[in-house]
A and B are shown apart, each in its own frame.
Chain A
Amino acid sequence: MERKAYTVKDHSRRNFLKQLAATSAISAATAMLPKVTFGGVEKFTGNDKLTWKKSPCRFCGVGCGLLIGLQNGKAVAVKGDPDSPVNKGLCCVKGYHSVMALYGKDRLRKPLVKRNGKWVEVTMTEALDLVANKMKETIDKHGKDAVAMYGSGQWTIPDGYVASKFMKGGIGTNNLEANARLCMASAVTGFMTSFGLDEPMGCYEDIDHADVFVLWGNNMAEMHPVLFSRLLDQRLKRKSIIIDLGTRTTRTSLAADKAILFQPQGDLALANAICYEIINNGWVNRSFIEKHCVFKKGKTNIGYGLEDNFQFTDEPGDISFNDFKNFLNDYAPAKASALCGVSVKDIKYLAQLYADPNKKVMSLWCMGPNQHTRGTWINNQIYNIHLLTGKISTPGNSPFSLTGQPSACGTVREVGTLTHLLPHGTVTNEKDRKLAAEIWKVPVEKIPAKPTFHTVEMFRALDRGEIKFMWIQVTNPMVSMPNLKRYRNGALKEDRFIVVSDVYPTPTTDVADVILPSAMWIEREGMFGNSERRTQHFEKMIEPQGECLSDTWQIIEVAKRMGYGNLFPWTKENHIEEIWKEYTRFHHGPEHAMASYQELKARPGIQWPYVNGKETKWRYHAKYDPAAKGDSFDFYGKPDGKAWIWARPFEPAPEVPDKEYPYWLCTGRVVEHWHTGSMTRRIPVLHQAVPHAYVELNVQDAANMNIRTGDKVKLVSRRGELVLPASVNERGQPPRGQVFVPFFDEGLLINELTIDAFCPISREPEYKKCAVKVMKA
């Protein structure tokens, strides 16, 4: 048979000819002028100088390993790192295009100062002088608790560490918070109250062992797509099953083997009903709970934090197994079904799955249970199910709390950049304060023993005028705060001074008095810590643009100007390594030991506890965890080595739909955009895929109001209103009486409608439930 021969008339052939033409001209020039050199020659010679360097992804908390293609001093490509145990070479659309977020044309490159209502470019030295002077002046006039710093789960570990040392050890105020309060606080208090130590016992490798995956209010196909693909892979290979529990039908529901809808807030009743079934069918792992668990109850009717200066302290009380069993009588399937809207049959099915002795079960959740006015409770309740069945701390048996930011765990939770935390332990604990004072070489009296404001209260204090100066780094609260109008107006009040360190103009830089341009991600060196206790280092790969400076070095420069230079005796060249050395002194010992700087540099992430060159994949079991005593489980976070099973009741949401505001409003994300969109919207591929926010309506509701996709819809809550295009029968489908809006769009600020109620224990706000009116606009 005759072979086909194709002639090629395409772009790449012309490029090739141009390369040839250019190369021959250069050769000719070299022959005539022997010492001549041509700098821009890479333009013609293709990709031969491409190098690849490893970094964790800039976006979510999964912490995928990326390989970043570098050419001519710029990041030009991304591929998944096959050596990374997290993603094994696969990324999501954000990860693949992540480096494009470095090159938006409106990158902030010069410091800006607002003078007479206008932005004026100044040098970095001038800007830092101004920030330091203003901070000093505010402290002199109003006291040290009048200045505050608000950071982020996108802070690298060194950023958070110097922020904590500067605020708590230098200035001596606990006015330090981070946006992880808005996403992870309930996960933290859930871990603390159930186990006494933060962060998951298991890891992503559980996915490779589990037979059943139960997703609690978690649209993993969009929010943690790389991990979800690992779930799908296991289903393909081992016939694992995926159960989606949610309040609306999402891409995850479509992929799941079974999708079960529950009423908003119904998760509290559903989890208790599962426990009821497990106990009343005799499926409890008796020997496990006798040896390793105790039962507790806490306060009830705990409030919603809607009023300023709201205070709450839980009081754990001992109860017996029988007390717990009796408590659950209110959640017998028939009763619970009325509260959560899940059929008795499905409740029984779920209980059977969890209890089946031949099945390993992994529960996964993220913002659904966390951004919840009873967030701590629902976290406790999921642990209850795993504890009653003894399905915990062993491969494949894993209640697993996912995170949304690249270093919510690594920085905010481990370094402790929250008002009550220190790099090890809490400010209320004298031993922890002494350790911090010793390592920081400051007098222990310097570190205040009383926490001040959590995030919502911090912005309320700014509004009230107790806080006069706030420095915001790597986050965008003027898009992400609930009940946004109040906090924006507060920030704009006279005699408030706001400093914002960021990489692009945002609604938050709009309220600033000084904008400091930050070096972003691989423009500086740093570390992130992901959801599975994995610390990942990235080196500086490209030069920062303009006068951009890393957040770490911005803080150090201001600290030096305020007289705290002795706390930061490092050079620009060695400071990351020195910070890491100093920081890891807080975490020595088998419970939290971390890898050395050199090891982190060489490997695509290392999990702590890292003891004798070995990562700990499962905590609290002597077989896997060097800190666990005995020969099996040891929940050493609690003094008696036992995990706590909590009796937590159902309590309603703070704002329930009524006649006037008949719809539930839920907010969240889409796969293309990350957080407030300040980075992903500057990536053309992502912006063009989802160019604006929209409101998802139920098909029947939309038909009743004569609303079709694209029609303008007006949403009104007690706090604000917003007109945005409708999305009917598209990506996500809420049940009747519910609507959903993604929050990434700074042009359509849904958080002007959300409620600033929070979980009284974790102080994490509710973004998933409030009441709205819906009408065709």
Chain B
Amino acid sequence: MTIKPKQHILIFYIVLLMASAIVVLNFSMLVEQEEAQVDEELFAYVEPLPFESGVFERAGFALSYQNMPDDENPQRSLDGYYKRRAFSGAPPIIPHVILNENTFGGKACLQCHQNGGYVEQFKAFAPVTPHPELINCRQCHVPVKSSSLFQATAFEGLKANQIHNSALEGSPPIIPHTLQMRENCLACHAGPAAPKAIRVTHPERVNCRSCHALKPLTPIEWTRPTNE
């Protein structure tokens, strides 16, 4: 039963199988939808489009990003990036010691996290915040002072969406996360602090959302009226 699969053939086979799976899943989902109450639908949350402000915030750095040498070390991994968040979309914790407690926003965190750069003390590149206008940083980001828990938790957070999600081979991947407070793509997707897995290969094309579509929003049910 030991098999050395040839990936290409296998993937083709799997795509076929997936198609049949989609049909089956789709059917079962349709059955579920029939049971949905009209009341619920009426008040269902409709996801808004993200703000446009901040989209080009870091566009001025695009050329330096493009010419940036590809440093292997230090390098952040996507795994490490996810581990700092309690669930996909949660504000990340502060993984380092706080250099000065007695200062605020612009005089503290933003010194490194507004524009990034190498920090000798931590042997790391500082990630750039996508929302530098919010200066009460520790309203949302807190340090880790203890590794123990008060009580164990059974919470399982939302997992990050798949990042390799191009609709067609070679087509631009869609944006897998919400853009709320992260409208400024280049803050996280370019520069030495961006994990390589999500670092854009073409930072000079600053109008990101001209090619990368939004993650599918919650659809509103609509049927084309017939003539009858």
Contact = CB atoms under 8 A, between A and B. Distances in A.
Complex A–B touching at CB under 8 A: yes
Interface of A: 1, 3-6, 8, 10-13, 15-16, 19-20, 23-24, 26-28, 30-31, 37, 41, 45-47, 50-54, 67, 69, 71, 74, 76-80, 82-83, 89-93, 96-97, 99-100, 102-106, 221, 225-226, 228-229, 232-233, 236, 249, 251, 254-255, 504, 539, 601-602, 671-672, 681-691, 729-731, 733
Contact of B136 (A3, A28, A69, A255): A255
Contacts of A102: 155
A733 B102 CA distance: 9
B101 A6 contact: no
Given A5-B201, A687-B146, A232 B135 contact: yes
A23 B18 contact: yes
A46 B159 CA distance: 7
Contacts of A221: 104, 136, 139
Given A53-B45, A83-B48, A687-B146, A100 B138 contact: no
B211 interface: no
Contacts of A8: 164, 196-197
A104 B45 CA distance: 27
A97 B139 contact: no
15 contacts: A13-B164, A27-B17, A27-B20, A77-B158, A78-B89, A97-B90, A100-B157, A102-B155, A104-B153, A106-B151, A685-B142, A689-B143, A690-B145, A691-B146, A729-B102
B158 A69 contact: yes
Contact of A255 (B133, B135, B157, B197): B135
A10 B160 CA distance: 13
A229 B155 contact: no
A541 to B, nearest CB: 11
Contacts of A226: 139
Interface of B: 13-14, 17-18, 20-21, 24-25, 28, 42-45, 47-48, 51, 66, 70, 77-79, 82, 86-91, 93, 101-105, 133-136, 138-164, 178, 180-181, 196-197, 199, 201-202, 218
A169 B140 CA distance: 44
A255 B104 contact: yes
Contact of B141 (A74, A80, A93, A688): A93
Contacts, number: 220
**Residue of A13, A28, A232, A249 with most partner-chain B CB within 10 A:** A232
In the A-B complex, list the 6 residue pairs whose CB atoms are closest, starting with the nearest.
Answer: A689-B142, A225-B139, A77-B158, A691-B146, A103-B155, A27-B17
A392 B172 CA distance: 55
A44 to B, nearest CB: 11
Given A91-B140, A733-B102, A684 B202 contact: no
A50 B144 CA distance: 29
Contact of B158 (A50, A91, A93): A50
A31 B78 contact: no
A347 B225 CA distance: 71
A294 B205 CA distance: 67
A105 B151 contact: yes
Contacts of B134: 90, 229, 232-233
B196 A254 contact: no
Given A8-B164, A20-B18, A76-B156, 13 more contacts: A3-B202, A12-B197, A13-B164, A30-B21, A53-B45, A78-B90, A229-B136, A249-B102, A251-B104, A602-B42, A684-B86, A684-B153, A690-B145
